[in-house]
Structure 1
């Protein structure tokens, strides 16, 4: 019910008292009214309602708000009232005689239909009582305007009506007072009128299994771990179409990288360690320009995969998708991935075609040499997505990347050591090309895949001008709602980033001390996970993946990674 309606209920005893006072004044003149039959007829209808048993007060909790209240002129517009009931005749008399009851206009698809009391249920006694109370002012005006008084019989009915409804009105008045007190308290202590707080906490139980680390005779660090990642998002909107996000994050999930397994191919989707310190993570402002463009200004922790369509739905989320870092999406989206990346991304949506362009610089706030927005490490992306809102999507992606020698990470730690730094600690530039496909064959079956190709070039030192090629690819199967609504089974097979050709193993081999940095064999990534939705806010995802021939070396032992990831959202 609307607040105005609640206030009407609260004021109804006062209205009845005013009616009685007016009536007493009229009786004092010891005369009869000329329009007594009309008033008497209305009072008899009111009296008939007072004889019905009162419903439970809890029935009011399901009533709707007052958006779109509209005056009705005929009771036949209130279609959910039984025309054969006494309530129908009472409403008919009140509405058509005084025009004082409001109904809710139903407007499906913007078309006004006949007014109803929301839904296909019968009008409740409290809804009827609320409507009746809205007529009391009109009745008071009618009696006050009459030149004559009312009969003693009608005065008795009015007094009896006040007595009959005394308990109900007192109950309603008490509930309204309590509700208003709570609303006042919430308004006085609310966090913000423009900002919402959203949170996510992930617990991860994980372990690696196998014999030796990759490219080593040392044993795996295979003790099970229990870690977490906690995030708080402060999402503010000033126009209803924009978004300002400030994210705080703390985590202690160990990275299963070279120090643990001898390779970065074994990293989990949720990893990273802040030593339990709270840090500023995402900081961006997104706003629309016209109907087809959206701009994202990023001040911290920018990643292309967070701002563009990766064409790998249900796998790309670190908290609910793939359990491995490589299995989330094509690694070329990871080309720029640091906690300090800043820049901008523009998303264009033309229905069947989506176009994204973006630029990120990891050290944009540093004005020193080889830093800043345009003088240091950077990534520039352009992407075309065909049919982004359909069941079949194709994504074509290009990323240009540059990094000084000590910062090069071509694949953001998803492939071999050679793929991460094809020329070692040498300033490197790359042009990356990606093709992604997603086909939702049925609502319960998705077929997806990608291919990534990177051309790297050494920009400084004795290797200047050397070239290397890096490839990766994967195929995934997804089964939404398998077993229960909200569950998801994901299967994925692929080859992590691999250096297939490197001039350091070719034209530069005649130089002294040139290292071998080309991957001779092939690693295979096989993954399976099953997300179980326990509630709207809790999911548990057991899963495992295996790396065959880690570091693209068939002499290395197979490494397994298992995890149980529990995600809480609020």
Structure 2
């Protein structure tokens, strides 16, 4: 008697579990409670090891479980299912039990599941066909068909137990399975614990996720800084004494990156802080400005709103209503020393006459990558403070604007070269031709008169080795006065950058920048007939060094020091030093 009960406990899980595997995919949508009968059946087993079957039986049931019936839509119930054609029309007509796979007229020896069906029919007698001899293996399974199949399997189980079948599962097989279960008990327990932990963590993430489409990233910058040296002043006034004090300020940015297709991105940046100062007013020259200053803005404000999306596999389009800058849609080729954790000065970040428009832009841009060696970037932006104004001198096309075209050439993996042309127009408002860098003459060569500029830029970056990068740029600008005269001016700027990745420690970066801030080399403009020409007589040098120390993946400490010789390109001004110590947090 004990042997009969033992066999009963072994055979029921084997056949029933297999049948449930066969039916689960097809009944997932219309039979949500099927899992309950399965759990009750599993409780019949007196021993966990009894739920295991021999390899041949399990393989056959797994083979049926992957049948293509899961691809059959629910509409099959109306056209070809047993429920619609047989059960409902003639409920007294039984489902036919088959004893040979050849009785199933629509099952061919070439079918991928033929052997599995043959075994289930002829070995176990556990398959019921339709009265007309069909099996309909590609058709969805109904509740009636499931019940009929389950009944056939249970009947077969009773027959096997009654005949005391000993060849199905031997005691040796049970002993082997029991031994394996005991040997791997610790591993199974550990795996169960890891799965439980993973489920808890997944539930926590799902419960606390910000958005299914938006990723939140951000950064915060704390800076302590001071300047040393007399204030630059081109007049003999006695206000040149250094009166700046040490500052401690911060800036934080929250970047919401939203994707609607998985390949596009809407970038919304909120900036908040206590106004990292623009040092121009305190030092007398914009040559001392920080790249991370907030230009006097305090509180919280929208600092960027840009949408980027691909067109095909090689093109990308940008559309922005706030702060669409050339540095966003064009390679600046100065990543070695620029960026959040790079040089501190505004001038050293990248070529200012090319990538700094002098205003926050609204517009569109386009990039097309012909190959890994050639890429073109095009863009048009206008002053976002004027783009929304319909009156004369404003609007999208008549306000201050910039048009850019750049060809980026990469002859080798180590060398990138950028050839850039930028057309700028300033008709009213702030005249800032050089993006807040260089001398006052370079930023505004013709006073408050409408101006156009043709800007040419050559940028390069050579990654000579993994620990040394050499880069730089040269900018050449032709400015033309449009109102109250037709004067012309020439402006140049240049820099050479040296970067040392992994300096002293992996992840750290050291950098040196030597350059000439934007300078008016020639001009025929005079504010008044007797005034001197508005051009720079001397040449300033910008000398800067920084070291970005990586504390961990999210925190860096960056000491920086830069020197401006002959500020405002005027030998009468004493050198000015600017030192800063900043800590950046990214998350």
**Fold match, TM over 0.5?**
yes
Where do 1:5-16 residues align within 5 Å? none
Alignment partner of 1:484 is 2:505: yes
- Alignment of 1:496 onto 2:513: no
Report if aligned partners of 1:528, 1:543 keep a CA contact under 8 Å in 2.
yes
> Given the alignment of the two structures, is residue 549 of structure 1 paired with residue 571 of structure 2, yes or no?
no
Determine if contact 1:251/1:277 at 8 Å carries over to the other structure: yes
Map residues 522-537 of structure 1 onto 2, 5 A cutoff. Answer: 522-537=539-554
Give yes or no for contact 2:404–2:420 (8 Å, CA) kept in 1.
yes
Q: Cα deviations across residues 512-538 of structure 1 (Å, max 9, x unaligned)?
A: 344531100000000000101111111
Alpha carbons 2:278, 2:294 under 8 Å: kept:
no
* Contact 1:411–1:420 (8 Å) recurs in 2: yes
Counterparts of 1:179 and 1:401 in 2: how far apart (Å)? 56
Distance, in Å, in 1 between the alignment partners of 2:585 and 2:425 is 37
Tell me what 2:259 maps to. 237
- Say if 1:543 and 1:493 are closer, same or farther in 2 by CA, change over 3 A: same
The corresponding residue for 1:407 is 430
The answer to whether the 8 Å contact 1:302/1:338 transfers is: no
Q: After superposition, where does 1:158-169 map in structure 2 within 5 Å? A: none
Distance 1:534 1:264, change over 3 A: same
Is the Cα–Cα contact under 8 Å of residues 276 and 292 in structure 2 kept in the other structure?
no
Instruction: Indicate the larger mover: 147-156 or 549-558.
Output: 147-156
Cα deviation 1:372-418 (Å, max 9, x = unaligned) = 11011000001011018821111111110011244211101110000
Aligned match of 2:223 in 197, 204, 212? 204
Verify the 8 A CA contact 2:524 2:533 in the aligned structure 1: no
Whether 1:568 aligns to 2:528 is no
| 2:407 aligned residue | 384
Once the two structures are TM-superposed, the CA of residue 170 in structure 1 deviates from its matched residue by 9.4
Give the gaps of 5 or more residues in structure 2.
Answer: 1-20, 25-33, 64-151
Larger Rg: 2
Structure-2 residue corresponding to 1:306: 328
TM-score scaled by structure 1?
A: 0.71
Which deviations, in whole Å up to 9, do the C-alpha atoms of 1:141-191 show, x marking residues without a partner? 999854323789969989999x98999999987886776566445435432
Which 10-residue stretch deviates more, 205-214 or 181-190?
A: 181-190
Three-state SS of the structure 2 residue aligned to 1:259 is helix
- Measure how far apart 1:214 and its partner are: 3.7
Within the alignment, does 1:540 sit opposite 2:557 as a pair?
A: yes
Distance 2:256 2:185 in 1: 47
Q: Which residue of 2 aligns with 1:437?
A: 460
Q: What secondary structure, in the 3-state scheme, does the structure 2 residue paired with 1:295 have?
A: strand
Report SS of the residue matched to 1:545: strand
Spell out, residue by residue over 1:29-52, the C-alpha distance to the aligned partner (whole angstroms, 9 max, x if none): xxxxxxxxxxxxx96997xxxxxx
2:393 and 2:366 map into 1 onto residues whose CA distance is 26
| Of 571, 575, 587, the match for 1:558 | 575
TM-score (norm 2): 0.69
Distance across 2 between alignment mates of 1:358 and 1:375: 16
Alpha-carbon distance in 2 for matches of 1:190, 1:184: 10
5 Å matches for 1:76-91? Answer: none
Corresponding position: 1:254 with 2:214: no
User: Does the CA-based 8 Å contact 1:471-1:500 persist in structure 2?
Assistant: yes
Distance in 2 separating the partners of 1:414 and 1:481: 30
1:115-126 superposed matches below 5 A: none
